[in-house]
Amino acid sequence: NIEKILEYRIMPYGDKHLLLVARDVTRVTQLEEMRKDFVANVSHELRTPLTVLNGYLEMFNADMTAYPPAFMGKAFTEMTAQTRRMQSLIEQLLILSRIEASAERVYEKIVDVPTLLSAIKIEARTLNQEKQHKIEFTVDSGLRVFGIETELRSAFSNLIFNAIHYTPANGVIQVGWRLDKKRAEFFVQDNGEGIAERHLSRLTERFYRVDKARSRKTGGSGLGLAIVKHVLTHHNSKLEIDSEVGQGSRFSFHFSPELTVVDSHASNQN
Ligand code: ADP
């Protein structure tokens, strides 16, 4: 649709000619559509839990004594889950906007990734209590990178927590931090549900989920991989995804040799 992609004006040019001035606005139009989609998605994601909360509150407001304790217990569990969902969505949105606005430069600081991963390992253990996965960390203790610590923490933890969420109980998850041809590599491999090929190219879009209904139950915001993608773009890197339905997934990324810092006493620790 030429009218949609071009802004144009036609002006007289001398006595016999017309002058056409056209500007390609494809990119502007695309950005505007993305912004509208984003606002619509955020509103929808917030409205759904609010509708549930509001429903219960109206019921209780009418007559708090009308419901048996078992029902009340279920209602409060559901209300807590919906409140958490909104909290997690707002937190992720804040992280995303902070990353977008950040003027911090990647080359300014060295990030001690092994220390960062030990902190995330402790959080992962808490999260894993219900699922009881076997989680193995194989970390090269002498490997660090130039980067932005808060951003890298978000990227590592989003990928690790996703593996925990999307792997059925008693799964096996491997987290690795190692040197691969002069480049630091981070990977998370799980033997969970896997992802069909057709979804792979869209996974890092904001709010894209393979199974919307099921993902909502896990409490995710749909923004995790969008955050990872942003962080990696900042660090001149890209998310690599290998996955097979029913077999599991491997999410990984590399840092360029310029960002990779290798300690001379590097050793492996589990
Ligand atoms: P969410 O908050 O829904 O987890 P993400 O952006 O982190 O959002 O992930 C997007 C979607 O990618 C998820 O909803 C899920 O369908 C899929 N996904 C992410 N990680 C995995 C994984 N390790 N195994 C299977 N599917 C995954």
176 contacts 127 by C-beta, under 8 angstroms:
no
Whether 106 contacts 146, CB under 8 Å: yes
The Å distance, Cα 215 to ligand 1 centre, comes to 7
Across 92-96, 110-114, 205-209, 263-267, least confident range: 263-267
Mean pLDDT for all residues in the chain: 90
Phi, psi of 61 (to 5 degrees): -65, -35
pLDDT tens digits, 188-198: 999 999 999 99
Q: Ligand 1 — pocket residues by CB below 6 A?
A: 158, 162-163, 166, 190, 192-193, 195, 203, 208-211, 215, 220-226, 249
CA gap 249, 172 in Å, rounded: 11
Question: ipTM > 0.95?
Answer: yes
Q: How far apart are CA 229 and CA 241, in angstroms?
A: 12
Percentage with pLDDT > 70 across the chain: 93
Which residue has the least CA distance to atom 4 on ligand 1? Answer: 220
How far is the CA of 227 from the CAs of 99, 169, 234, 239, 262, in angstroms?
8, 26, 11, 11, 27
Across residues 12-38, what is the average pLDDT? Answer: 86
Q: Give Cα 99 to chain centroid, integer Å.
A: 12
Partners of 185 in the beta sheet? Answer: 178, 254
Summarised one tens digit per residue, pLDDT across range 138-160 is 999 999 999 999 999 999 999 99
What pLDDT, on the 0 to 100 scale, is given for residue 269? Answer: 46
Quick one: pLDDT at residue 157?
96
pTM: 0.82
Give the per-residue pLDDT at 219: 66
| Both tokens assigned to 170 | 């008693």
pLDDT range class, residue 265, cuts 50, 70, 90: low
Atom of ligand 1 nearest to the CA of 190: 23
Q: What is the C-alpha to C-alpha distance for residues 147 and 88, in angstroms, rounded to an integer?
A: 25
> In the Cβ-directed half-sphere of 9, how many Cα atoms lie within 13 Å?
3
Distance 2 CA to ligand 1 centre (A): 37
Enter the tokens of residue 17. Answer: 């000619």
**Distance from the alpha carbon of residue 158 to the mean position of ligand 1, in angstroms:** 9
Cβ atoms of 124 and 135 closer than 8 Å: yes
